[in-house]
A and B are shown apart, each in its own frame.
Chain A
Amino acid sequence: MKTKKSAGNVLLGNEAMAWGIIEGGATVVASYPGTPSSEIMGAVNGIKSEHGLTIHTEWSVNEKVAFEVALTNSYLGRRSAVMMKQVGLNVALDPLMSSAYTGVEGGFVLIAADDPGPYSSQTEQDSRYLASFAKIPVFDPSSPREAKEMVKRAFDLSEQFEIPVMVRPTTWVCHARQGVPLGRIEGGDGAPTFKKDPQRWAATPRFRYILHKELNRKVREIATKNNPEPVFTPQGAELAVIASGVPYAYAYDVIKAMGQEKRVALYKVDLPYPMGPKIDDLVQNHLQTLILEEPYSVIELQIRCREKVRGRLDLTIPSEGELTPDNVAKAIATILGQEVREIGEPPAGGRKPSLCPGCPHRAAFWALKKALPKGIYPSDIGCYTLGLNLKAVDTCLCMGASINQAAGLYQSFRQAGAEIPPIVATVGDSTFFHAGVPALINSVHQGACFVLLILDNGTVAMTGGQPTPASNGPGKRMEIEKLTEGCGVDFIRVVDPYDVPLLIQLLKEADQYAREEERGVAVIIARHPCLIYGGRDEKREEGEIIIGEECDSCGVCTKRFECPALQEGPQGTPVIVRALCVNCGVCLYVCPQVAIERR
């Protein structure tokens, strides 16, 4: 059911942060989608159109681009925000490090959303580390309401110290719901003014040294005022828990549920970096201190004397995975010498993730396995990583790596004089724009020979269907055909992956071009709109899909093709789940007995 917008002020954490950005008066907001941060930009755009605001918002081509576009508005004395997921910040690390030195004129807030667990990322890295690495302050909200307030505080702090400021929410802030009071939408900043100052904005190494000194001064000053806030302060507490972010919320609930707020002191850290001197006093004044933070140890490492400190470093808390109310309760109970309530395993079962019924990626992977079964298949980040289930994905490193890894495979085999296997990189359209273009240029220029299968579904599907540079926008639409041609590719074919036989034939031709004839990179663009975010109204052929009598229950369609609409029936014969089947007809090409037909 399509629902209307919120009736009250109950907001998702990501929506709350969007309000923080708007109320904070940002005039330029940029982002690249990534779980769990993606809904922030959607909400900013929603508020923008609902209230007729004129702020510039953009889904940029990648995080580095988003960062630099937004940052520059803050060079001009105006407020700006940029949002991304934690691994997205790796892509934007270059401008992050440098902008800490140059500083800003207008408030600049970087929201980097972490994914402890991880639930949908290649690492569970801690963005607060990157804040401390860059020497910029970082807020660590524990709830949606606080996340909104911290975004606004971050703008103020950024402006006061002319320094970029990070806000680092985690999944259970981004995706929690809570009543959040809304404030006034401010008018936004005045006209941009660029104060020419080459020693700052274009500093040479000698001046960079001076900027670094200045940065250190700012950080020291922020640290002096940054001390843990007391929450429970019982007299003579033996244990002090110092926590930030969602682990603070767990600690609060758990200590109360245990009835220990008269015995255990609780302190809350809003700004885990840079920590002030008071935390060392707290540690000295208690028999034991437990530090709760995630996913890594940032507060803990800033404590000078850690003899009495427990946390992730001494493995009181496991040093990987997310914190939970359970392991927080266990740690506190253990330290207090109390009985630990054994908790069951999380509920097993549930279905394993799978591409949607009728997903064009499944058709493309099926064709790939048929055409070049002996191939090596480097792949990339997106829904199509689930091509793993079809055994058509061999590697998944980070955004855009598929193309470089295909080149790496080729160079390695060629250098060794070994027989080169078919190499087929698969990459989604948005990932191709994000980091694939320089990779393709490099591959072509270095003479690598492989097949590049671009899975073009016209959207950033995994994160909720955000637009790509090929979508309609204020400027020109990019065309992947022209782009690959511009990168120097001579073999470019476009095909609808639903036409499985044609795609199989093209893949073989492409492999011949790349491998046997060694003529370079062959590109196939498999273009079909995403079923969820683009193809809903698509016209389908008439007639229902049925399983005929020829079926010998081989299981190819249910296990290897694994369309969720094809499920194993009682005797191992497949049944079609009508509620899920979208009538795409791709399974017609899959059954070796040709038992699946359209009637």
Chain B
Amino acid sequence: MDLQMVIVGLGGEGIIFMTRVLVEGFYRSGHPVISTETHGMAMRGGSVTSQIKIGDYQSPLIRYGEAGMLLGTSVVEAQRNRPFLREGGTLFMNTDQQGDYCVDATKIAHGLGNPRGGNLVLLGYVLAHLAPAISLEPFLEVVKGLSPERFLSGNVKALQEGWRVALKADKKRRKGKGIRRHG
């Protein structure tokens, strides 16, 4: 697999947790991966960007116009960081707006009774677009390993639900324009 992805959002939203799930999951899936996070100094609630490169890469930094995927936990941050996307790259957003690759992960997480699980729903949703190059199992294992006991089953469900929702949406889209595969 050869994929560069950027995750953007605000401090305290769990971007680092998402990054760890992805990086460890790809690593367990047997893909070489390197990543890094950037955030403002001593600041809560500031912008956080994390960059993940899967494939034959040596440095963790992604150039503008090279990311195949951009994940935004908020619309504002996602728009601001759009230049990271390469031509034909995909922007995934957690939002209640309609649109391709938009998913209301927060609402889905609430529906699952896990209001903090929005990020994991989004992750599951994104990962489904990488199937069949990857399977969800290694990522589920990582989530189990990283989640504190009381969030464990809720987090696992959130990741699975995101994956499921994406497959469903993908089926619909297939009828229209055909599937878009990544990686």
Establish whether residues B145 and A10, one from each chain, have CB atoms under 8 Å apart when the complex forms. no
Please pick, from A1, A343, A462, the residue contacting B42 in the complex, using a CB distance under 8 A.
A462
The answer to the question of A478 belonging to the interface, with a C-beta cut-off of 8 Å to chain B, is no
Interface residues of B in 24-73 (CB under 8 A from A): 24, 27-28, 32-38, 40-47, 53, 56-66
Please pick, from A119, A177, A249, the residue contacting B35 in the complex, using a CB distance under 8 A.
A177
CB distance from B76 to the nearest CB of A (A): 9
The answer to the question of A353 belonging to the interface, with a C-beta cut-off of 8 Å to chain B, is yes
The answer to the question of B95 belonging to the interface, with a C-beta cut-off of 8 Å to chain A, is no
CB distance from B35 to the nearest CB of A (A): 5
Q: Which residue on chain A has the smallest CB distance to residue B11?
A: A351
- With A7-B142, A179-B33 already in contact, the answer to whether A354 and B64 are too (CB < 8 A) is no
Please pick, from B58, B83, B147, the residue contacting A253 in the complex, using a CB distance under 8 A.
B58
CB distance from A503 to the nearest CB of B (A): 22
- With A2-B148, A325-B61, A350-B40 already in contact, the answer to whether A8 and B24 are too (CB < 8 A) is yes
Please pick, from B63, B64, B142, the residue contacting A8 in the complex, using a CB distance under 8 A.
B142
Establish whether residues B46 and A7, one from each chain, have CB atoms under 8 Å apart when the complex forms. no
Establish whether residues B145 and A4, one from each chain, have CB atoms under 8 Å apart when the complex forms. yes
Give chain A residues whose Cβ lies under 8 Å from the Cβ of B42: 353, 355-356, 383, 386, 461-462
Give chain A residues whose Cβ lies under 8 Å from the Cβ of B36: 172, 175-177
The answer to the question of A252 belonging to the interface, with a C-beta cut-off of 8 Å to chain B, is yes
The answer to the question of A347 belonging to the interface, with a C-beta cut-off of 8 Å to chain B, is yes
CA distance A4 to B83 in the complex (A): 34
Q: Which residue on chain B has the smallest CB distance to residue A325?
A: B63
CA distance A231 to B44 in the complex (A): 42
Establish whether residues B17 and A1, one from each chain, have CB atoms under 8 Å apart when the complex forms. yes
CB distance from B80 to the nearest CB of A (A): 5
Establish whether residues B14 and A176, one from each chain, have CB atoms under 8 Å apart when the complex forms. no
- With A119-B41, A248-B58, A325-B59 already in contact, the answer to whether A8 and B27 are too (CB < 8 A) is yes
CA distance A103 to B34 in the complex (A): 37
Please pick, from B19, B41, B45, B146, the residue contacting A7 in the complex, using a CB distance under 8 A.
B146
Establish whether residues A349 and B61, one from each chain, have CB atoms under 8 Å apart when the complex forms. no
Q: Which residue on chain B has the smallest CB distance to residue A4?
A: B146
The answer to the question of A228 belonging to the interface, with a C-beta cut-off of 8 Å to chain B, is no
The answer to the question of A571 belonging to the interface, with a C-beta cut-off of 8 Å to chain B, is no
Give chain A residues whose Cβ lies under 8 Å from the Cβ of B62: 325
Establish whether residues A7 and B23, one from each chain, have CB atoms under 8 Å apart when the complex forms. no
Establish whether residues B59 and A177, one from each chain, have CB atoms under 8 Å apart when the complex forms. no
Q: Which residue on chain B has the smallest CB distance to residue A326?
A: B63
Please pick, from A3, A6, A250, A355, the residue contacting B148 in the complex, using a CB distance under 8 A.
A3
- With A1-B14, A347-B83, A564-B45 already in contact, the answer to whether A172 and B58 are too (CB < 8 A) is no
The answer to the question of B20 belonging to the interface, with a C-beta cut-off of 8 Å to chain A, is yes
Give chain A residues whose Cβ lies under 8 Å from the Cβ of B116: 1
The answer to the question of A593 belonging to the interface, with a C-beta cut-off of 8 Å to chain B, is no
Q: Mark A146-187, 1 if CB is under 8 A from B, else 0.
A: 000000000000000000000000001001111100000000
Establish whether residues A143 and B17, one from each chain, have CB atoms under 8 Å apart when the complex forms. no
Give chain A residues whose Cβ lies under 8 Å from the Cβ of B57: 249, 252-253
The answer to the question of A344 belonging to the interface, with a C-beta cut-off of 8 Å to chain B, is yes
Give chain B residues whose Cβ lies under 8 Å from the Cβ of A355: 42
Establish whether residues B34 and A353, one from each chain, have CB atoms under 8 Å apart when the complex forms. no
CA distance A368 to B46 in the complex (A): 27
Establish whether residues B19 and A177, one from each chain, have CB atoms under 8 Å apart when the complex forms. yes
Establish whether residues A347 and B80, one from each chain, have CB atoms under 8 Å apart when the complex forms. yes
Please pick, from A172, A257, A347, the residue contacting B60 in the complex, using a CB distance under 8 A.
A172
The answer to the question of B141 belonging to the interface, with a C-beta cut-off of 8 Å to chain A, is yes
Establish whether residues B43 and A3, one from each chain, have CB atoms under 8 Å apart when the complex forms. no
Establish whether residues A179 and B45, one from each chain, have CB atoms under 8 Å apart when the complex forms. no
- With A249-B59, A343-B63, A344-B83 already in contact, the answer to whether A354 and B20 are too (CB < 8 A) is no
Q: Which residue on chain A has the smallest CB distance to residue B8?
A: A347
The answer to the question of A551 belonging to the interface, with a C-beta cut-off of 8 Å to chain B, is no
Interface residues of A in 231-273 (CB under 8 A from B): 246, 248-250, 252-253, 256-257
Give chain B residues whose Cβ lies under 8 Å from the Cβ of A6: 20, 24, 145-146
Give chain A residues whose Cβ lies under 8 Å from the Cβ of B43: 351, 353-354
Please pick, from A35, A351, A357, the residue contacting B40 in the complex, using a CB distance under 8 A.
A351
Q: Mark A106-131, 1 if CB is under 8 A from B, else 0.
A: 00000000000001100000000000
Q: Which residue on chain B has the smallest CB distance to residue A355?
A: B42
CA distance A356 to B23 in the complex (A): 30
CA distance A142 to B58 in the complex (A): 8
Establish whether residues A252 and B59, one from each chain, have CB atoms under 8 Å apart when the complex forms. yes
Sampled A-B contacts (25; CB under 8 Å): A119-B41, A142-B58, A143-B58, A172-B36, A175-B36, A175-B37, A176-B35, A177-B60, A178-B35, A246-B59, A249-B59, A250-B59, A252-B57, A253-B58, A324-B63, A343-B64, A344-B64, A347-B47, A349-B47, A351-B46, A353-B42, A353-B46, A356-B42, A564-B45, A580-B45
Which B residues have a C-beta under 8 Å from some C-beta of A? 14, 17, 19-20, 23-24, 27-28, 32-38, 40-47, 53, 56-66, 80-81, 83, 116, 141-142, 144-148, 151
Closest A-B pairs by Cβ, 3 of them: A7-B145, A249-B59, A249-B58
In the complex, besides A7-B24, A142-B59, A350-B80, 15 extra interface pairs with C-beta distance below 8 angstroms are: A3-B146, A6-B146, A8-B24, A8-B145, A10-B24, A119-B41, A142-B58, A143-B59, A175-B38, A177-B19, A177-B20, A253-B58, A325-B63, A349-B47, A350-B40
